[in-house]
Amino acid sequence: MGTPNTNSYLKQGRYISTSFHHKSQFPLVVVSNREPFLLRESSEGPFLEKTPGGVVSALEPVLRTMGGLWVHSAIQQGGMVDFPRIGPSGRGRTEPYSRQSVQVDPIETRYFYEGYSNNVLWPLFHSFTEKVHNDDLDWRIYNSVNQKFAAQVTPQLSHETVLWIHDYHFYLLPSLVDRAIKIGFSNHIPFPPFNILVKLPHHQEILKGMLGADLIGFQCDVDLINFLDCVQLTFGADVSIKDHDIQFKDRASRVVSSPVGIDFDLFDKMDKGGSRTDGSCLIRRSIKTRWIGLGVDRLGYTKGILEKLSALECFFETYPGYRRQLAFVQVLAPSRSGEIENIEYKRLVERSVDRINGKFGTDDWLPIHYHYKSFSAEGLACFYDMADFYLATPLRDGMNLTAKEFIACKTDHSGALILSKYTGASEKLTEAFIVDPRSKGEVAEAVRDALITDPRTLARNMAQLRLKVKDQDVHWWAQGFLDSLRLLPDRLEHG
């Protein structure tokens, strides 16, 4: 089998790519950074443990349903294999998709992942410009890792393949895979306005890379509008934009609002055996208060955990009648990155928890119950099920899937969602209590409102929220995006 030429050339107004010398066995190839499973050992033998993260949680059920090839960075060694189901009990069975790992060595990880992805793109795209640390070597390694993925992905493609690339680690990849195939790109983090994006020295290259995709999906309309503005203001006369269609030189792209969902049925049906209810009752009995609030976050400054704790302190100061009547459970999952900044942030969170508990707590009551660990979906469901209200108050977030998981677990329509207006989720989940997470008084008031609102009103609101989350679940998201991608015309040069 010959090696396909990665360069296309323009002929008679159409992209003509060097012919593929094979038919791919994978009609769908998905690329993301995070390795979805890690191989673990137990007394019963090796098993797969699912890694945490929103993109993994979204893609795994999709590929389990659709099949295909999942290409990702490698934490552990391995090539392309079929992997057993998760957990010791599933040994001997295989998932209906394959995985191919791309080896990213520790030096590359330092500059590609911890450097450019996490110290440049993440803070800038979340509008924390003061936390951006630009380094030219970070950019060069980011570029080279994107090229490495392009080289690994290319042999798996044929004219029938749909390539679906995910998130900010691979902004350059769509333009590096120059093929006569359909390419989709889904952005899972916020997309900043032009006055912020322009602070990025290589913002033109980032935009050009994204415009290599035929279909570009954003979590909400605000992100989509920001992207269109950035393209227009960056490229000026070289770009033509009509509605959501972009013509940049000889390449056409379409942008869509494509909010990611959750595996609704996984959480909705998890309590068939009653274990979730039993777990919820155990938590409530151990805390022994009339009301319990909940927050589930990954460690990081964009999650607004310190601001959330400040709002809870304000709540107990402003409404002292709720002391000893209400407790708040904060689950904080360890960050994927062990940077000094995250270690310091964790220390500040724990100091704040200790201070609030010392200020208001008594011998038999703590206002804040803090858990620094990752829980399985089943474990989280117990927390969601027992909570009277859920605080999803990041300072900025592409979507916020934990809010949707909380809703999915509320099969009895109880509970209230308090949601940051700076999340993609707030665009659709309008029945929630929408707040500014930086206003501690506003969040404190929303907590009080959630407690005093007529339960029948809360139940109606939760019923509407559940309908939205169920109707726009992860399968709706994936099927809608891929159908839209496949229906796009073949690449043509317009004009």
Please tell me the distance from the alpha carbon of residue 487 to that of residue 482, in angstroms, as a whole number. 9
Strand segments, DSSP code E, in 106-233 are: 162-166, 182-186, 215-218
Q: Check which CATH number belongs to the domain holding 388 and give it.
A: 3.40.50.2000
Residue 240 sits in the same domain as residue 360: no
Please report whether residue 322 resides in a domain. Answer: yes
**What pLDDT sits at residue 265?**
94
Residue 243 sits in the same domain as residue 288: no
Please tell me the distance from the alpha carbon of residue 267 to that of residue 280, in angstroms, as a whole number. 14
Residue 335 sits in the same domain as residue 417: yes
Residue 49 sits in the same domain as residue 182: yes
Beta bridge partners of 240: 247
Please state the pTM of the whole predicted model. 0.89
Strand segments, DSSP code E, in 150-259 are: 162-166, 182-186, 215-218, 239-242, 245-248, 251-257
Residue 29 sits in the same domain as residue 89: yes
Residue 278 sits in the same domain as residue 198: no
Helices 440-452 and 305-318 pack at an angle, to 10 degrees, of: 60
Residue 64 sits in the same domain as residue 145: yes
Please report whether residue 3 resides in a domain. Answer: no
Please tell me the distance from the alpha carbon of residue 170 to that of residue 192, in angstroms, as a whole number. 17
Cα angle, residue 204 at apex, residues 200 and 209 outer, rounded to 5°: 115
Q: Which of 186, 197, 185 is nearest to 126 (CA)?
A: 197
Counting the structural domains of the chain, the total is 2
Residue 230 sits in the same domain as residue 284: no
Helices 474-487 and 54-66 pack at an angle, to 10 degrees, of: 70
**What pLDDT sits at residue 272?**
59
**What pLDDT sits at residue 204?**
98
Please report whether residue 482 resides in a domain. Answer: yes
Q: What is the mean pLDDT of the chain?
A: 88
Q: What pLDDT, in 10s, does the model give residues 167-186?
A: 999 999 999 996 679 999 99
Please tell me the distance from the alpha carbon of residue 362 to that of residue 366, in angstroms, as a whole number. 7
Residue 460 sits in the same domain as residue 480: no
Q: Which residues of 439-449 are buried (b: 16+ CB within 10 A; e: fewer)?
A: ebebbbbbbbe
In sequence order, which residues have a C-beta less than 8 Å from that of residue 303 and are 6 or more positions away? 297, 394, 395, 397
Structural domain boundaries enclosing 379: 266-471
**What pLDDT sits at residue 160?**
87
Residue 53 sits in the same domain as residue 36: yes
Please report whether residue 495 resides in a domain. Answer: no
Q: Which residues of 9-19 are buried (b: 16+ CB within 10 A; e: fewer)?
A: eeeeeebebbe
Q: Edge-to-edge strands of the sheet including 368-372?
A: 368-372, 326-333, 291-298, 389-392, 416-420, 433-435
Task: Dig out the tokens for 341 from the structure.
Answer: 């900044």
Please report whether residue 94 resides in a domain. Answer: yes
Q: Which of 307, 288, 461, 290 is nearest to 391 (CA)?
A: 307
What is the three-class DSSP state of 270?
Answer: coil
Please report whether residue 86 resides in a domain. Answer: yes
Cα angle, residue 480 at apex, residues 475 and 245 outer, rounded to 5°: 150
**What pLDDT sits at residue 489?**
87
Please tell me the distance from the alpha carbon of residue 26 to that of residue 23, in angstroms, as a whole number. 9
Q: What pLDDT, in 10s, does the model give residues 31-90?
A: 999 888 777 677 777 767 777 788 999 999 999 999 999 999 985 444 444 444 444 333
Residue 283 sits in the same domain as residue 247: no
Residue 84 CA: distances (Å) to CA of 31, 73, 156, 265: 20, 19, 22, 22
Burial of 77 (0-12, 13-18, 19+ CB in 10 A): exposed
Residue 137: CB atoms within 10 Å: 11
Please report whether residue 154 resides in a domain. Answer: yes
Please report whether residue 287 resides in a domain. Answer: yes
What pLDDT tens digit does each residue of the chain (495 aa) get? 333 332 322 222 222 233 334 445 689 999 999 888 777 677 777 767 777 788 999 999 999 999 999 999 985 444 444 444 444 333 434 567 899 999 999 999 999 999 999 999 999 999 999 999 999 999 999 999 999 999 999 999 988 899 999 999 999 999 999 667 999 999 999 999 999 999 999 999 999 999 999 999 999 999 999 999 999 999 998 999 998 999 998 889 999 999 999 999 999 888 655 667 777 888 999 999 999 999 999 999 999 999 999 999 999 999 999 999 999 999 999 986 657 888 999 999 999 999 999 999 999 999 999 999 999 899 999 999 999 999 999 999 999 999 999 999 999 999 999 999 999 999 999 999 999 999 999 999 999 999 999 999 999 999 999 999 999 999 999 999 999 999 998 764 333
DSSP-assigned letters across all residues of 55-103:
HHHHHHHHHHHH-EEEEEEESS---EEEEEPBSGGGTT-EEEEEEEEEE
**What pLDDT sits at residue 94?**
56
How many Cα atoms occupy the beta-carbon half-sphere of 102 within 13 Å? 24
Q: Which of 397, 404, 30 is nearest to 220 (CA)?
A: 397
Residue 188 sits in the same domain as residue 39: yes
